[in-house]
Amino acid sequence: MRAVLGLISRNKGFITFMLCMVMFRSAIADWNVVPTGSMQPTIQIGDRIVVDKAAYDLRVPLTHLSLLHRADPQRGDIVVLDSDAAGERLVKRVIGVPGDQVALRQNRLYINGQPASYQPIAVQGIRDDREDPARYAVESVGTMHHAVRWSIAQQGHTQDFGPVTVPAGKYLLLGDNRDNSADSRYFGFFPRNEITGRATRVAVSLDPANHYLPRGDRWGVALP
């Protein structure tokens, strides 16, 4: 026991540092690895994203208990949440806030009856599967503008959803990769208290399709 206490005493500085890091990552800022393509092209597989854990609430470290409410997620925010319905951590975009009416018609988004406009774009740096080629466009509704992806193989397949009205205290979240995302179309509305932070930028990016070599052009890129 004396030897154990001596070891702890000699390493108390390191232990204190590690505890502080755990608290910081839990309550202030963190980074997450993105293993799937559900947010392509905005977030690519292998991106490590920076998450502002204090964007909406100051929480008790290692819990979802809010000490101070700072703001609510806004339409267009990319949020990180610990979803009970999905049973895992998710990264999705806020499409509908409480009170919004949201619908998809042939994959065209409508918010409160206003249809989104779509400007086709070319996207560099993403290796689409030969069996799942894609087309890309900038989706714009009001002040929300971001790129989305559709699978060409599913072109013409009806992708209808809603209309639904987002209830109080909940949010409608979608992936930017519209044909390959498990989101509110599958899990329903997500409670506000499950949203733990806002994704702000790519910290580093490693390409799993190229021996995990760095994608230098994505380091530090802000997330729209």
Give pLDDT tens digits for 86-101: 999 999 999 999 999 9
Round to whole Å and give the CA distance between 157 and 105: 11
CATH code, 64: 2.10.109.10
Residue 162 lies in a domain: yes
Structural domain of residue 139, as residue ranges? 28-218
Q: Using the CB atoms, write b or e for 115-136: b if 16+ within 10 Å.
A: ebebeeeebeeeebeeeeebbb
The 10s digit of each residue's pLDDT in 45-75 is: 999 999 999 999 988 877 778 888 999 999 9
The 10s digit of each residue's pLDDT in 116-148 is: 999 999 987 676 656 578 899 999 999 999 999
- What are the distances in angstroms from CA 11 to CA 22, 63, 213? 17, 27, 35
Is it the case that residue 217 has pLDDT exceeding 80? Answer: yes
Residue 77 lies in a domain: yes
Looking at the structure of the chain, the number of domains it has is 1
Residue 18 lies in a domain: no
Cα–Cα nearest to 75, from 182, 221, 224, 210:
224
Beta pairing class for 78-83 and 47-52: unpaired
* Confidence (pLDDT) at 60: 80
Residue type, position 195, single letter:
I
Cα–Cα nearest to 37, from 161, 109, 129, 124:
129
Residue 164 lies in a domain: yes
Residue 97 lies in a domain: yes
Residue 104 lies in a domain: yes
Mean pLDDT for the stretch of residues 209-220: 91
Q: What is the mean pLDDT of the chain?
A: 85
Residue 37 lies in a domain: yes
Confidence label for 32 from pLDDT (cuts 50, 70 and 90): confident
* Reported pTM: 0.86
* Residue 5: alpha-carbon gap to chain centroid: 43
Residue 118 lies in a domain: yes
Q: How many CB atoms lie within 10 A of CB 40?
A: 24
Structure tokens, 149 = 């992806």
